Structure 1
Amino acid sequence: MTEHRVELSDGATLYVKLLGGFSPEKPLLIALHGAPGLASHRETEATYGYLQSRFRVLVYDARGSGISDLKPPYTHERWIADIEELRAWAGVERFILAGGSYGGFVSLDYALVHQDRLLALILRDTWAWGTRGMMQALKVSLTSKRIRADPERQYRMWTGILLDDQDFAQGVGEMQALFAPDAPDIDPNAEHENTPRKGIVHAATQNWAFSQNMPKFDVRSRLKAIRVRTLVVVGRHDLITPFECSQEIAQGIPNSELAVFERSGHNPAKDETKLFQARLSAFLSSLAL
């Protein structure tokens, strides 16, 4: 494993970890975390790090997240350009792209622009229509009996008008139990990819993502244009990006397969780790790499 500060063409610097080294004989997998302004490479490293004996796994804090530069714009177009620059930095023409939650939105948009660069696509607990997704997240945060949320704060969070970083941290904090499945042996308050880290919460990134990006994100009618092999992963009990959203994606992408994890919430890689790793490994082994 090596750590890097990669400077991009516009002067922004991203924090990058390359697991598995620079060995050119290994295929490259680039993994995108979710929750802009909140999550980090820790999520993707925990999910895909086990693959480093067979793959080079590139994980990083996206622009505006973690300890990467807080240099806007935080648009999908800019985040896609960042992926392209990291691909070139890693020295490959084609790679596997994996995105979870919000990282799945960016992955879908990347696939529609740069499909020729992809060996395969992995989408975990995501959706294809931003407006419906935002309303679903707001609805469940206000109606679920599993949590007690501040309606005004949740409204600010899901419409991208948060007051400040503390407002963001509090909004996510009161939603913790929604990300885990309702299972007696799984702690709903355990740390996950959307657990706020002290001092590393960036409301400006979340505000941009949900006030500007999500209202115009709708790739439903374009899913059929994605021809690359795709694995769509979802937890049966995901309340934020429900099963139906992943089902819609899998039905829309012609060369895709849907993997449903029956005891998982928003992150099967955490909730059912062994099953997730076995299913992902089987998919990757089936690729002609």
Structure 2
Amino acid sequence: MSFTSANVRLSDGAMIHARVLGMEDKHKPLLIALHGAPGLSSHTEPEVSYAFLGDRFRVLVYDSRGSGGSDLKGPYTDERWIADVDEMRAWAGAETFVLAGGSYGGFISLGYALAFPNRLSALILRDVWACGPRAVLRALSFILTSPRIKPDPSRQVRLWSGNVRDKEDGEKALAEILTIYSPPEKDEQEIAGADGFEGASQEMHWETHNSAFSFSSPRFDVRDRLGEIETPTLVVVGRHDPITPVEEAVEIAGSIANSELVIFEGSGHNPPADEPEAFQEAVVKFFVKLGM
């Protein structure tokens, strides 16, 4: 089985570049997987991470607006990205579906679960936080004190506050910290630029990133609403993830009643890439338990 490409026109005219596995098999339930890092990442990471589920689901991945091959048409806000998820669901012809989100895609997934609770049959949250302001400061603190890297402090403040000056500024800021997205034992391995960052798109759109981290992230705080989520939820996290660390995942799993937490001891920010077999086993076990 292989993914096929599709261009989806949303209600406001934005064109979304999507990739679909098994779309013709309408009897299969739908799974939508969201990438992280608006403007910097693309569908590539979730496509690789969830292709193994092609025998169980129709798997839909796409570049969010302002990312990858999709239109650079705002607004670049969580509310708009959440609405886009539901339009993609409708385009795929599913009344209910499984939503999987990693990193920033997990923030959007939490927002969707609260806005459209009756649409979800299951939720997968990979390396996610529930409070943007606290988590950004925690990540920045780690970055500026980690012995593994020596970044420029002012440049990192611009990156994490959504004030990147230009393409060169952003690329330098990202290159400085790529190493810490992987577990410590991978320090000596070559990380080839953007290829080490969550399936990054070849062309990064810093306006999208700046909007997400200057407007949406400071306002994102769903801690007091996590208890409203009744959807069966799998929360996964890498033990060595400094960006969305284990304590963030523990908080989320502890607040969602119908949830389970899996910690991957050999992973950083992306367990599907760091421990693919263990990740796939955990996901399949979750779905078997749900009878899916």
TM norm structure 1: 0.96
Within a 5 Å distance, the mapping from 1:70-149 to structure 2 comes to 70-149=72-151
Q: 1:185 to 1:168 in 2, by over 3 A?
A: closer
Per-residue deviation, 1:5: 0.7
Structure 1 residue aligned with 2:48: 46
Structure 1 residue aligned with 2:206: 203
7, 12, 15: which is aligned to 1:13? 15
Q: Write the distance in 2 (CA, Å) between the matches of 1:101 and 1:163.
A: 23
Q: Write the distance in 1 (CA, Å) between the matches of 2:276 and 2:114.
A: 30
169, 176, 197: which is aligned to 1:193? 197
Per-residue deviation, 1:194: 3.9
The one-character-per-residue Cα deviations of 1:140-175 (angstroms, maximum 9, x if unpaired) are: 221111112111110101011111122222211111
The one-character-per-residue Cα deviations of 1:61-109 (angstroms, maximum 9, x if unpaired) are: 0001111011010111100111111100000100000000000100000
TM norm structure 2: 0.95
Per-residue deviation, 1:195: 6.4
Aligned length: 288
2:43·2:199 contact (CA, 8 Å) conserved in 1? no
Name the Cα RMSD after superposition: 1.4
Q: Write the distance in 1 (CA, Å) between the matches of 2:25 and 2:5.
A: 15
Structure 1 residue aligned with 2:28: 26
Structure 1 residue aligned with 2:239: 236
Q: Write the distance in 1 (CA, Å) between the matches of 2:225 and 2:56.
A: 32
Per-residue deviation, 1:276: 0.5
The one-character-per-residue Cα deviations of 1:18-53 (angstroms, maximum 9, x if unpaired) are: 012321111100000001110100010010011112
Structure 2 residue aligned with 1:254: 257
Once the two structures are overlaid, the 10-residue window that deviates more, 103-112 or 13-22, is 13-22
The one-character-per-residue Cα deviations of 1:169-221 (angstroms, maximum 9, x if unpaired) are: 221111111100112698372633346554x1011111111110011100001
Identical pairs, percent: 54
2:44·2:200 contact (CA, 8 Å) conserved in 1? no
Per-residue deviation, 1:225: 0.2
Q: Write the distance in 1 (CA, Å) between the matches of 2:186 and 2:245.
A: 20
Q: 1:158 to 1:59 in 2, by over 3 A?
A: same
1:239·1:266 contact (CA, 8 Å) conserved in 2? yes
Which structure 2 residue ranges, 5 or more long, are not aligned? none
